[in-house]
């Protein structure tokens, strides 16, 4: 199956302040999970889906570490030039930055570098392709309305087309949580500059879906299996132990950088 027109962009330009002091010297996406850098698991998924053209965007503080990581991996690393949480471009700002830097005008898989999941990206790509020119968002049913308040929550119609998107709702309309893995049709990826030029929030990639679904068709891809959105130390330890088990390593009570 020809997938040459689909490019991948891994978002890794944040400063992960909730994981300090770990992230003072190591970017979150390079923290070991299951004995290897977190982002390696994501790169495996991208490669398994047959996507060859892979980009990663990071910041000025961590670009040298990502350049080192990328050696021999055929991943294009882009330094967005920011050096602190205060001057960051934001996830959506970083998408535009890479589109301009690398002259990307293609269908685009955008995936957060701290978003671990069990499902096959190739299945998600097949679902998205079946929608013919639409975009898609991977969603996980968290199964609990209380838990749903912590996430971006989508509502869908009978065809799983997204008809609502609310970030951390007080009164969730569903338990379908948005996960930071997006498939944008070329025509929709082209709208990122228009979104930003309107003065919309440049951070939180879900904000772009919240804007886009009101203008263009975006579908929810429901996946089963594990999902880790690694934002704090407890989530990091849980993900590490999940992947350690998979790698045949013993579980640990505390997170260690080795």
SS3 label, residue 176:
strand
Residues 6+ apart with CB under 8 A from 64: none
Contact 167, 200 (CB under 8 A): no
Give the residue from 97, 137, 136, 130 showing the smallest Cα distance to 115: 137
What confidence score (pLDDT) does residue 170 get? 95
What confidence score (pLDDT) does residue 229 get? 82
- The pLDDT tens digits for 42-100 are 999 999 999 999 999 999 999 999 999 999 999 999 999 999 888 899 999 999 999 99
Rounded to whole angstroms, the Cα distance separating 257 from 36 reads 10
Rounded to whole angstroms, the Cα distance separating 90 from 97 reads 10
- The pLDDT tens digits for 18-32 are 899 999 999 999 999
What confidence score (pLDDT) does residue 4 get? 46
Give the residue from 197, 201, 88 showing the smallest Cα distance to 152: 201
SS3 label, residue 153:
strand
- Domains recognised in the chain with CATH numbers: 6-137+181-201+220-246 (3.90.550.10)
SS3 label, residue 179:
strand
SS3 label, residue 92:
helix
């Amino acid at each position: 199956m020809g997938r040459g027109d689909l490019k991948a962009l891994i978002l890794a330009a944040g400063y992960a302040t909730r994981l300090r002091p770990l992230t003072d010297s190591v970017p979150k996406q390079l923290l070991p999970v299951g004995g290897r850098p977190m982002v390696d698991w994501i790169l495996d998924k991208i490669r398994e889906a047959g996507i060859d053209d892979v980009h990663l965007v990071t910041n000025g503080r961590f670009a040298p570490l990502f350049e080192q990581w990328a050696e021999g991996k055929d991943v294009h690393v882009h330094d967005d030039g920011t050096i602190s949480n205060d001057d960051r471009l934001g996830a959506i700002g970083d998408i535009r930055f890479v589109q301009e830097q690398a002259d990307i005008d293609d269908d685009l898989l955008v995936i957060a570098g701290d978003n671990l999941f069990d499902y096959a990206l190739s299945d998600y790509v097949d679902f998205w392709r079946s929608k013919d020119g639409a975009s898609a968002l991977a969603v996980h049913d968290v199964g609990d309305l209380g838990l749903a308040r912590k996430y971006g929550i989508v509502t869908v119609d009978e065809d799983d087309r997204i008809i609502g998107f609310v970030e951390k709702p007080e009164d969730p309309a569903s338990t379908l949580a948005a996960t930071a893995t997006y498939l944008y049709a070329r025509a929709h990826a082209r709208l990122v500059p228009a979104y930003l030029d309107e003065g919309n929030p440049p951070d939180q990639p879900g904000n772009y879906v919240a804007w886009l679904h009101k203008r263009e068709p975006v579908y929810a891809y429901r996946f089963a299996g594990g999902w880790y959105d690694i934002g704090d130390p407890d989530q990091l330890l849980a993900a590490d132990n999940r992947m350690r088990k998979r790698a045949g390593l013993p579980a640990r009570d505390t997170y260690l950088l080795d």
